[in-house]
């Protein structure tokens, strides 16, 4: 997305507003926290439509001690989680979902094209289709530089009440 963004969501907001920001912006939208927050910064967030975010994979990420000793690579399930968190940013940035939780309700057609090494910066782009009654489907792609490294279709369910969706 080439449009300029309003850092940390400042300024007037409308349906096509492009937002971006760092840790405070991200934790102001997502309920995730360390050690399970896999977004370092947002590049752009169009509420309810799409999000592009980055994650700096730490060289000393504890998961690498066991996956795999002497040959550390980021588990595919965490790449999917990174993409899901980017999709959740797009959904939860909508005013009606402020303070809610977006659950990952499904993953289809997940593909991994190359490994992710310690010290890599990942970028995810997630485009959300129609959202009905808190359920949305998104097309997610992860990149290292310009190289696509993973993709999936994801289904999100936003909890709008304490007892369900």
Q: Domain extents for the chain? A: 6-159
For the cut 80, the answer to whether the pLDDT of residue 160 exceeds it is no
Element (H, E) at 109: strand 101-112
Q: Report the pLDDT value the prediction gives residue 12, as an integer from 0 to 100.
A: 43
pTM for this model (two decimals)? 0.90
67 is annotated as an active-site residue: yes
Express each pLDDT in 89-144 by its tens digit.
Answer: 999 999 999 999 999 999 999 999 999 999 999 999 999 998 999 999 999 999 99
Burial class (CB in 10 A: 0-12, 13-18, 19+), 43: middle
Fold type of domain 6-159: Thiol Ester Dehydrase; Chain A (3.10.129)
The pair of structure tokens assigned to 165 is 């969706």
Q: In what order do the strands lie in the sheet with 41-46?
A: 6-7, 19-21, 41-46, 50-56, 121-132, 135-144, 147-159, 101-112
Active-site residue identified among 32, 41, 67, 127: 67
Express each pLDDT in 44-95 by its tens digit.
Answer: 999 999 999 999 999 999 999 999 999 999 999 999 999 999 999 999 999 9
């Amino acid at each position: 997305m080439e449009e300029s963004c309003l850092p940390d969501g400042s300024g007037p907001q409308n349906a096509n507003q492009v937002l971006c920001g760092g840790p405070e912006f991200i934790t102001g939208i997502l309920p995730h926290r360390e050690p399970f927050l896999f977004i370092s910064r947002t590049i752009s967030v169009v509420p309810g439509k799409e999000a592009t975010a980055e994650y700096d994979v730490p060289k000393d990420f504890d998961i690498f001690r066991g996956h795999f000793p002497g040959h550390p690579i980021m588990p595919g399930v965490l790449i999917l989680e990174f993409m899901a968190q980017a999709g959740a940013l797009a959904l939860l940035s909508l005013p009606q979902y402020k303070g809610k939780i977006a659950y990952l309700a499904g993953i289809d057609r997940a593909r991994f094209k190359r490994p992710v090494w310690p010290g890599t910066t990942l970028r995810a782009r997630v485009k959300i289709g129609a959202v009905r009654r808190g359920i949305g489907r998104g097309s997610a792609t992860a990149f290292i530089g310009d190289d696509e490294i993973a993709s999936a279709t994801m289904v999100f369910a936003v909890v709008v009440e304490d007892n369900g969706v």
